[in-house]
């Protein structure tokens, strides 16, 4: 699903910063992997490149066997819209739209008509137990609810891959466990999942843990989350 070949990325500022130094990585279809690393290790940059939110300098990135390189803005937007669902630490919901409108928004950019959009958005909200909250604005929801809304928004377009950047970073441990449980269930429907985290407890709930250090992959740890007691506290 994802194939990275010798990806390099440098931020040119007052002091050029070589963030990614030749990343080679394969993520198979339906895999659930996590990327761990200290802050500054390049994990967020890597995720942004995977999400086509940022570009890379050299190397090749294949998403679903298509080379993602030198895309026009519109092509990138289109690919994000159809292939990728995002989940962010700070949820990134639009504050003046209701839960349902937020979930329906990606479909708007697929030119799905309003009736169909709202119907699909409701279905996903219902799936995440948020049916009663459909008409509420983000600031009227709890952290866990917001993250569930953003998961619904990520899934509503039925993407091939979910990219989650510290999805539990702003949540307490109980809610974090719930969110991870949902992500796990989503993964079991066949959607590939990449989670960036710095919490060991979160990473242990994925099949593969990629350790990033100073812009290079230090090692890849295989993990069997089924052995984990899912009711145990994460943090």
Partner 1 sequence: MALRRNKLRTFLTGLAISWGIFILIVLLAAGNGLMDAVGKQFSSRSTNTYTLYGGMTSKPYKGHNSNRWIPLTDKDIRLLENNFPHVDQVSPRVNSGGNAVYGNQLSPIVLSGVRPVYAKTNDVEMTMGRFIDELDEKNNEKVLVIDENVQEQLFDPEEDPVGKLIFVNDIAYKVIGVWKGNPNSGGGECFVPFSTLKKITNKDEYSMLNFTTYDLDTKEANEAFEKYLRTQLAHLHEFDPEDNSSIYIISTMLQYLQTNKIMNTLQIFIWIIGIAMLISGIVGVSNIMRITVKERTNEIGIRKAIGAKSRSILASIVVESMIITTLFGYIGMWLGMMVADLSGDIISKAQEGNMVTINIVPSIDLGIVLMATALLIVCGVLAGFFPARNAVKIKPIEAMNYR
Shortest Cβ distance from residue 82 to partner 1 (Å)?
Answer: 7
Min dist. Cβ of residue 167 to partner 1 (A): 15
Nearer to partner 1, 105 or 216 (CB): 105
Tokens of 91: 């949820």
DSSP codes of every residue in 71-130 = --HHHHHHHHHHHEEEEETT----TTS-HHHHHHHHHHTTT--HHHHHHHHHHHHHHTT-
Give the residue with the Cβ less far from partner 1, 107 or 193. Answer: 107
Shortest separation between residue 53's beta carbon and partner 1, angstroms:
4
Based on CB atoms, which residue is closest to partner 1, 177 or 193? Answer: 193
C-alpha 148: how far from chain center = 13
Buried residues in 9-46 as b, exposed as e (16+ CB within 10 A): beeeeeeeeebbeebebebeebbbbbbbbeeebbbbbb
Residue 54 or 221 having the CB closest to partner 1: 54
Query: To the nearest whole angstrom, how small is the minimum distance from the Cβ of residue 162 to partner 1?
Result: 13
Minimum separation from the CB atom of position 228 to partner 1 (A): 31
What distance in Å separates the CA atoms of residue 27 and residue 39, rounded to the nearest whole number? 22
Residues making contact with partner 1 (CB under 8 A): 48, 51, 53-54, 73-74, 77-78, 80-82, 86, 88, 92-96, 105-106, 109-110, 153, 157
Q: Measured from the CB atom, is 86 or 128 closer to partner 1?
A: 86
Choice between 50 and 217, CB closer to partner 1 = 50
Contact between residue 71 and residue 52 where contact means Cβ atoms under 8 Å apart: yes
**What gap in Å lies between CA 177 and CA 187, rounded to an integer?**
15
What is the DSSP annotation of 28-77? -TT-EEEEEE-TTSSHHHHHHHHTTSS--SEEEEEETTEE--S--HHHHH
Instruction: Find the shortest distance in angstroms from Cβ 32 to partner 1.
Output: 21
Shorter beta-carbon distance to partner 1: residue 40 or 174: 40
CB of 105 to partner 1, least distance (A): 6
Q: Are strands 161-165 and 192-197 parallel, antiparallel or unpaired?
A: parallel
């Amino acid at each position: 699903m994802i194939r990275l070949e010798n990806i390099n990325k440098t931020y040119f500022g007052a002091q050029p910063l070589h963030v990614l130094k030749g990343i080679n990585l394969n993520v198979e279809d339906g895999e659930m992997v996590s990327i761990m690393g200290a802050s500054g290790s390049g994990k967020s940059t890597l995720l942004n490149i995977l999400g086509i939110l940022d570009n890379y300098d050299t190397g090749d990135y294949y998403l679903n066997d298509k080379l993602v390189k030198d895309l026009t803005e519109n092509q990138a937007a289109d690919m994000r819209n159809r292939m990728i669902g995002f989940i962010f630490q700070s949820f990134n919901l639009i504050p003046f739209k209701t839960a349902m409108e937020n979930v329906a928004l990606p479909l708007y950019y697929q030119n799905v008509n309003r009736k169909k959009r709202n119907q699909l958005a409701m279905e996903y909200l219902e799936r995440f137990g948020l049916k009663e909250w459909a008409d509420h604005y983000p600031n009227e929801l709890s952290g866990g609810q917001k993250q569930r809304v953003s998961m619904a928004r990520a899934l509503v377009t039925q993407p091939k891959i979910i990219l989650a950047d510290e999805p539990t970073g702003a949540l307490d441990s109980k809610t974090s466990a719930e969110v991870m449980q949902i992500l796990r269930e989503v993964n079991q429907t066949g959607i590939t999942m990449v989670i960036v985290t710095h919490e060991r407890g979160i990473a242990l709930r994925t099949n593969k843990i990629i350790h990033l250090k100073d812009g290079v992959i230090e090692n890849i740890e295989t993990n069997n989350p089924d052995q984990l007691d899912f009711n145990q506290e994460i943090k």
